[in-house]
């Protein structure tokens, strides 16, 4: 049984895999077997660390980024780990990731968020819903930037999920399936309350569609009207929330707010370098300045060669 056959017939039936993750895993296996053709003729028990090392060497001949290799390597090793746990292979192959620079985190500054909110008045979609398109987009922007929720989770918010009296949102994450609760800002509650009586199906607060094109076409139109360049992705508002929480309450709080399994993920992918630098400023500004001695009325002078030795 080849790696691809094992993934399709053994791993998939046993795991609930999101469509995006499924597509990425299939792409990773295809890239692996393309760059290391010998794997196509191997059984899964024959794949060793040597084949993964060959994959890394062959990657150097491409123009693809190290980040892409590391992501695909994680999917390949994840599949092999699943097969190992099923006792279908006896040894888990190893391979070190390629070194990569920290990505530049795009966040929306306060002015950009204000302009997005203001120019949501230009929205014309979604149509045929009880609330105005402007209210829909303004609520979405506010919720995204104050909760750090993924777009899929925002569009999945239901009336029973929102407790306006306690200002709490309880939801089940679409990506991880985990149920959690997060606090809501007072003005976020105001925007959600405005959607309560205009639910498209009596339960959902945000109209959702299977057409990504419609959603993003309107999102880009709002940004164009707001004059935002480079553009801000909806996920960048999640990063904006993470950076704000980090600057206010630290890394652990930001990781908790974003529901990350590791603070390393939060620090690497959600905290902007400028925010991280500003978080250090109070400590840096508190450092004593040795040159202050020159501004004292009678500075102590040491003899040439430094202070005398103490016996």
pLDDT at 299 over 80: no
| pLDDT computed for residue 180 by the predictor | 93
For residue range 267-283, list pLDDT tens digits in order.
989 998 888 888 889 89
Q: 1-52, pLDDT tens digit by residue?
A: 999 999 999 999 888 777 778 999 999 999 999 999 999 999 999 999 999 9
Nearest to 193 by CA among 143, 249, 248: 143
Note the helical H segments in the chain: 3-6, 19-35, 49-59, 66-85, 110-119, 133-147, 151-154, 186-196, 212-226, 234-249, 251-258, 263-269, 273-285
pLDDT (mean) for 199-222: 86
Question: Rounded to a whole number, what is the largest CA-CA distance in the chain?
Answer: 89
Give CA–CA dist 204/156, Å, rounded.
Answer: 7
Grouping H, G, I as helix, E, B as strand and the rest as coil, residue 170 is strand
For residue 100, cis peptide bond before it (omega within 30 degrees of 0): no
The CATH T-level fold of domain 110-273 is hpI Integrase; Chain A (1.10.443)
Whether pLDDT at 306 is above 70: no
Q: Which of 31-35, 173-177, 199-203, 252-256 has the lowest mean pLDDT?
A: 199-203
Q: Does position 202 have pLDDT exceeding 90, yes or no?
A: no
Distance CA(207)–CA(137), nearest Å, equals 10
Residue 256 pLDDT exceeds 60: yes
Contact 49, 91 (CB under 8 A): no
- Mean local confidence (pLDDT), 55-67: 92
Residue 186 has pLDDT above 90, yes or no: yes
| pLDDT at site 301 | 57
Element (H, E) at 163: strand 162-163
Residue recorded with tokens 């499924």: 22
Section 153-168 average pLDDT: 95
Which residues, 6+ apart, have CB-to-CB distance to 183 below 8 Å?
Answer: 167, 168, 169
Confidence of residue 232 (pLDDT cuts 50, 70, 90): very high
If you average pLDDT over residues 76-81, what whole number do you get? Answer: 96
Residue 229's alpha-carbon distances to 38, 72, 151, 187, 226, in angstroms, are 46, 31, 21, 27, 9
Which pLDDT value is given to residue 307?
53
C-alpha span between 280 and 247 (Å, rounded) = 10
Distance CA(288)–CA(178), nearest Å, equals 47
**pLDDT confidence of 108, banded at 50, 70, 90?**
very high
How is residue 126 written in tokens? Answer: 């979604």
Answer for the pair 136, 206: CB distance below 8 angstroms, yes or no.
yes
């Amino acid at each position: 049984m080849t790696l691809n056959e094992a993934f399709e017939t053994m791993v998939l039936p046993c795991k609930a895999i999101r469509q995006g993750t499924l597509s990425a895993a299939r792409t990773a296996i295809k890239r692996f077997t393309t760059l290391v053709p010998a794997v196509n003729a191997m059984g899964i028990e024959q794949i060793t660390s040597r084949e993964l090392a060959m994959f890394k060497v062959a990657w150097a001949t491409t123009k693809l980024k190290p980040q892409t290799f590391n992501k695909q390597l994680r999917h390949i090793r994840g599949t092999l780990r699943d097969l190992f746990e099923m006792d279908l292979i006896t040894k888990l192959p190893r391979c070190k990731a390629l070194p990569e620079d920290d990505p530049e985190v795009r966040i929306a500054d306060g002015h950009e968020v204000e302009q997005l909110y203001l120019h949501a008045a230009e929205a014309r979609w979604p149509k045929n819903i009880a609330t105005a398109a402007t209210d829909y987009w303004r609520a979405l922007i506010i919720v995204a930037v104050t909760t750090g929720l993924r777009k899929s989770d925002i569009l999945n918010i239901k009336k029973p999920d929102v407790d306006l009296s306690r200002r709490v949102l309880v939801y089940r994450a679409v990506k991880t399936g985990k149920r959690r609760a997060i606090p809501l800002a007072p003005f976020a509650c105001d925007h959600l309350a405005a959607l309560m009586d205009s639910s498209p199906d009596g339960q959902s607060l945000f109209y959702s569609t299977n057409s990504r094109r419609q959603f993003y076409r309107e999102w880009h139109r709002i940004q164009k009207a707001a004059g935002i360049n480079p553009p801000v992705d909806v996920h960048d508002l999640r990063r904006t929330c993470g950076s704000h929480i980090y600057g206010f309450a630290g890394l652990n709080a930001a990781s908790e707010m974003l529901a990350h399994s590791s603070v390393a993920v939060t620090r690497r992918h959600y905290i902007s370098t400028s925010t991280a630098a500003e978080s250090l400023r109070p400590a840096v500004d508190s450092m004593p300045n040795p040159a202050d001695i020159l501004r004292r009325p009678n500075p102590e002078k040491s003899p040439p060669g430094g202070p005398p030795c103490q016996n």
